[in-house]
């Protein structure tokens, strides 16, 4: 059975589609009117931009800290018997690096870095093994003749 579709019927059927398209066109025009870049003071008043030298120094410190963490975690995995070294090496190194300790230059030719024990015996033992390995490398403190020795403090 043939159906007759008039222009008025077509307009009535597609009225919602045309309204939606008009809204989309208006939204796209409003979006196009927004600038892609704005001055920082306009977006966040009072915000300061870091000086280039400060930013470069900050990045250099972050890179050095990351490299230190990664190298010590690798040394922990390779040179200790720590059972969870595959899963906890980075966490253990961060814990040791953020802990407290002493630097003792009283012995001639030696700079002793003595770390406080970590919260668990297992972690302290792993860091003590790492300290033994690092001490065996006989690394000199840069710019001096002092050989670095690492150890964990023992309970009094």
Q: What is the pLDDT of residues 72-123, one digit of tens each?
A: 999 999 988 887 888 889 999 999 999 999 999 999 999 999 999 998 899 9
The dihedral formed by the CA atoms of 67, 70, 76 and 77, expressed in degrees to the nearest 10: -140
pTM of the predicted protein model:
0.61
How far apart are the two ends of the chain, measured CA to CA in Å?
102
Q: What is the pLDDT of residue 156?
A: 59
Tokens matching residue 95: 């814990």
Instruction: Please report, for the chain, the start and end positions of each structural domain, with discontinuous segments joined by +.
Output: 52-152
Higher pLDDT, 44 or 21: 21
Q: Which residues, 6+ apart, have CB-to-CB distance to 144 below 8 Å?
A: 111
User: What is the percent of the chain where pLDDT is above 90?
Assistant: 63
CA atoms within 13 A on the CB side of 111: 13
49-73 pLDDT per residue, tens: 778 888 899 999 999 999 999 999 9
| Position 127 confidence tier, pLDDT thresholds 50, 70, 90 | very high
């Amino acid at each position: 059975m043939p159906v007759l579709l008039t222009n008025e019927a077509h307009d009535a059927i597609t009225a919602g589609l045309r309204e939606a398209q008009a809204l989309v066109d208006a939204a796209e025009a409003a979006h196009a009117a927004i600038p892609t870049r704005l001055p920082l003071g306009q977006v966040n008043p009072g915000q300061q931009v870091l000086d280039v030298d400060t930013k470069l120094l900050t990045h250099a410190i972050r890179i050095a800290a990351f490299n230190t963490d990664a190298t010590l975690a690798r040394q922990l995995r390779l040179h200790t018997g720590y059972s969870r070294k595959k899963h906890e090496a980075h966490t253990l190194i961060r814990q040791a690096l953020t802990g407290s300790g002493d630097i003792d230059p009283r012995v001639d030719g030696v700079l002793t870095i003595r770390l406080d024990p970590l919260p668990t015996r297992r972690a302290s033992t792993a860091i003590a093994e790492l300290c033994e390995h690092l001490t065996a490398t006989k690394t000199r403190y840069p710019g001096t003749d002092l050989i670095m020795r690492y150890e964990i403090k023992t309970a009094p």
